[in-house]
């Protein structure tokens, strides 16, 4: 198991004046902090993390334990407000409250979106954020370990090693062990006309492929952001269990400047000073919350929470986009081993642990890796796509430039991964309980370019000012309004393709016994299927956009500029998933590291130019 980075105490931390203070020791924060510290030994770099340090935590380290930490002691325990588009349901929104952040809790998938996704960011006026501008930073974050020839041959693990990085802190690899259903995946998707993509991180994710994971194959343990700073540089100081109450923003000669951070640790409040910059890397939920608590945001939102306005920034917390997901369950061949067996059988569990401890192989290394990204034009008729295109034309939820990009993806010519399908054995649904004695398989379908757009804001208060202890109001507006109804229609069409084509095609069809959720009767009835989608849609936990890059629209279209500097405040940046102006077609972990690498590079450039 890996060792944890060294931390300091609050009194020592607050007695220093730092060159750079990073709020959030998570996926992006530790990457930024480590790069700043190593760039110049004269820089003093501080990190404040609300969670603690874990060491030798099997639920984090062991790949096969993915998902166990969600909802546990390392989670912020956030949830959405009731979603009208989901029948009034609230959804849990797991986020990591631990050094390493959500990179310590996620499912370890490591992939990139297509070139077009990042070029769309640049097309909005965010210079340098297209594919060519961000690709070097993807590579800088990772060390790719090629699979053995045996794994490549047995499991159809085709890849292009040249598209990966070779010397970054995050170790990425293909598993050595696979779910029994994986051998059926490529042939089934090929049979429905979806080709295998051997270069799935090289600029297009369209096709079927086996995904890479953030796992160090030498030890078969999770690789996450603490690997950037273990051991930490001497000039990097990490304080845990520190809740940031606000960025101290002062008026200096008519210009607002970030001069420090007010935080609480072990019941005592502190203020720590900064001489160069504060960098918010608290994620898509906490970064907008901290900006608003600091007086930076929509004046109406701040007034309702009794927070004095310093900078009127209308889109703080707006532009929230997330991936919507459905888990369709099938009864499968009862002889197939799956992850559920380990939960029920102590002997199997003990044998798996022994094998993992002995040679870092076996069931505890198996991850969900059977992925496919499919353009809607692959299975929707021209007439259906034309109808969706017309509906998108009438929507006003995004500004004109963003809407044009999203609408064009429905014109029938987009070769983009608009829906992701992922299959694995076991029951992944939080709602379907199953029957004893039966085994199940799960097909996930995940909408990549949602029109549903929502917000995250500090909570309104009556007779006091909002505080960091108040959970923010998370309202993704899943399937909300006319734009959300478009997402619901796309999800229904994608569910039809899943039911009528993918699972009816050999060899995958050979292991499927019957539909379980939705039932056969639900599948056959349009209204019942629509209601099932409403009652079963969940999140894939990929929120972005709440401090988005404004591009040509500036502060009216976003929160930060193309160098991630917060509009209206000197010495303050945001570097995390919240800066993405549009959602991407990918699991977002690798992109967050690339944003962190590029953000750190720009901060270092600006610091050297200022000398």
Q: What is the mean pLDDT of each run of 10 residues along the chain (611 residues)?
A: 75 95 98 97 97 94 95 96 98 97 97 98 98 98 96 90 96 96 97 97 97 97 95 92 98 96 96 98 98 98 97 98 98 90 88 94 96 97 94 88 94 96 96 94 98 97 93 97 95 97 98 97 96 97 98 97 98 98 98 98 94 67
Query: C-alpha distances in angstroms, 3 versus 56, 72, 248?
Result: 8, 21, 33
Give me 236's structure tokens: 């990097």
Using CA atoms, how far apart are residues 130 and 581, in angstroms rounded to an integer? Answer: 12
Q: What is the pLDDT of residue 1?
A: 56
CA distance 157 to 429: 27
Alpha-carbon span 284 to 544, nearest angstrom = 6
* Residues in CB range of 100: below 8 A, 6 or more apart: 25, 26, 27, 30, 54, 60, 224, 225, 226
Model confidence, pTM: 0.97
Chain CA centroid to CA 128, Å: 22
- Could you give the angle at which helices 526-536 and 481-500 cross, rounded to 10 degrees? 110
Q: Which two tokens stand for residue 565?
A: 């500097």
Q: Rounded distance, CA 518 to CA 529, Å?
A: 8
Could you give the C-alpha distances from 395 to 191, 292, 375, 404, 580, in angstroms and in order?
A: 37, 28, 22, 10, 21
Specify the pLDDT at position 394: 85
CA–CA gap between residue 400 and residue 408 (Å, rounded): 12
* Annotated binding-site residue numbers: 98, 102, 244, 541-542
How many other C-beta atoms are found inside a 10 Å radius of the C-beta of residue 48?
26
Identified catalytic residue from 182, 378, 587, 601: 587
Binding residues for FAD: 98, 102, 244, 541-542
CA distances from 84 to 72, 217, 563 (A): 27, 44, 37
Out of 77, 241, 542, 601, the active site residue is 542
What residues are paired with 90 via a beta bridge? none
Report whether 546 contacts 456 (CB < 8 A).
yes
In this prediction, residue 328 carries a pLDDT of 98
Token pair listed for 224: 């996450």
Q: What share of the chain is helix, strand, coil (3-state, %, to 5)?
A: 35, 25, 40
Q: Can you give the pLDDT at residue 115?
A: 98
Pick from 443, 470, 414: which is nearest to 181 by CA?
443
Q: Who's near 337: CB < 8 A, 6+ residues apart?
A: 180, 363, 425
The encoded tokens of residue 523 equal: 């599948």
Is residue 542 among the annotated active site residues?
A: yes
Under 8 Å between Cβ of 187 and 511: no
Cα(16)–Cα(274) distance, integer angstroms: 9
Whole-number CA gyration radius for the chain: 23
């Amino acid at each position: 198991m890996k060792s944890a980075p060294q931390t300091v105490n609050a009194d020592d931390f607050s007695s220093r004046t730092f060159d750079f203070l990073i709020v959030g020791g998570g996926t992006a924060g530790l990457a930024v902090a480590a790069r700043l510290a190593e760039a110049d030994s004269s820089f003093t770099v501080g990190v404040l993390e609300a969670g603690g340090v874990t060491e030798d935590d099997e639920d984090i380290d062991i790949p096969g334990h993915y998902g166990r930490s969600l909802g546990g002691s390392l989670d912020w325990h956030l949830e959405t407000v009731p979603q009208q588009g989901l029948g009034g349901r609230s959804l849990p929104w797991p986020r990591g409250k631990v050094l390493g952040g959500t990179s310590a809790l996620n499912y370890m998938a490591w992939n990139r979106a297509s070139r077009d996704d990042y070029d769309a960011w640049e097309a909005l006026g965010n210079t340098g954020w297209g594919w060519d501008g961000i690709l070097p930073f993807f590579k800088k974050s990772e060390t790719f370990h090629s699979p053995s020839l045996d794994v490549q041959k047995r499991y159809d693990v085709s890849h292009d090693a040249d598209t990966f990085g070779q010397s970054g802190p995050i170790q990425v690899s293909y598993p050595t062990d696979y779910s029994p259903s994986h051998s059926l995946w490529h042939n089934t998707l090929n049979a429905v006309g979806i080709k295998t993509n051997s270069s799935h991180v090289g600029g297009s994710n369209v096709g079927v492929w086996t995904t890479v994971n953030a796992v160090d194959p030498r030890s078969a343990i999770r690789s996450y952001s603490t690997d950037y700073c273990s051991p930490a540089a001497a000039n990097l100081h990490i304080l845990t269990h520190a809740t940031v109450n606000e960025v101290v923003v002062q008026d200096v000669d008519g210009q607002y400047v970030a001069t420090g951070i007010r935080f609480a640790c072990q019941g005592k409040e502190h203020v720590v000073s900064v001489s160069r910059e504060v960098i918010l890397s608290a994620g898509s939920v906490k970064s907008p919350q901290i900006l608003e608590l600091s007086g930076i945001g929509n004046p109406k939102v701040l007034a309702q929470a009794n927070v004095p306005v310093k900078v009127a920034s209308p889109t703080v917390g707006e532009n929230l986009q997330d991936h919507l997901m459905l888990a369709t369950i099938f009864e499968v061949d009862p002889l197939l081993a799956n992850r559920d067996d380990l939960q029920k059988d102590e002997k199997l569990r003990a044998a798996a642990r022994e094998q993992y401890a002995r040679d870092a192989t076996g069931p505890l290394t198996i991850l969900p890796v059977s992925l496919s990204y499919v353009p809607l034009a692959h299975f929707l008729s021209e007439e259906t796509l034309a109808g969706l295109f017309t509906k998108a034309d009438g929507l006003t939820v995004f500004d004109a430039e963003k809407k044009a990009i999203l609408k064009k993806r429905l014109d029938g010519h987009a070769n983009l991964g608009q829906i992701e399908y992922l299959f694995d054995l076991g029951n992944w649904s939080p709602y379907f309980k199953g029957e004893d004695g039966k085994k199940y398989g799960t097909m996930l379908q995940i909408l990549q370019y949602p029109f549903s757009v929502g917000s995250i804001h500090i909570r309104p208060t009556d007779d006091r000012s909002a505080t960091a202890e108040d959970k923010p109001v998370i309202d993704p507006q899943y399937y909300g309004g006319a734009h959300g109804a478009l997402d619901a229609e796309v999800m229904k069409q994608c569910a039809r393709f899943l039911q009528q084509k993918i699972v009816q095609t050999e060899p995958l069809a050979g292991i499927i016994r019957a539909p379980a959720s939705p039932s056969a009767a639900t599948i056959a009835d349009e209204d019942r299927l629509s209601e099932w989608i409403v009652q079963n849609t969940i999140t894939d936990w990929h929120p972005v956009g709440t401090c988005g890059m404004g591009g040509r629209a500036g502060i009216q279209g976003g929160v930060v500029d193309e160098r991630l500097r917060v509009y209206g405040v000197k010495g303050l940046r945001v570097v995390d998933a919240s800066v993405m102006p549009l959602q991407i077609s990918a699991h977002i972990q690798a992109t967050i590291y690339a944003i962190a690498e590029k953000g750190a590079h720009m901060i270092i450039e600006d610091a050297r130019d200022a000398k």
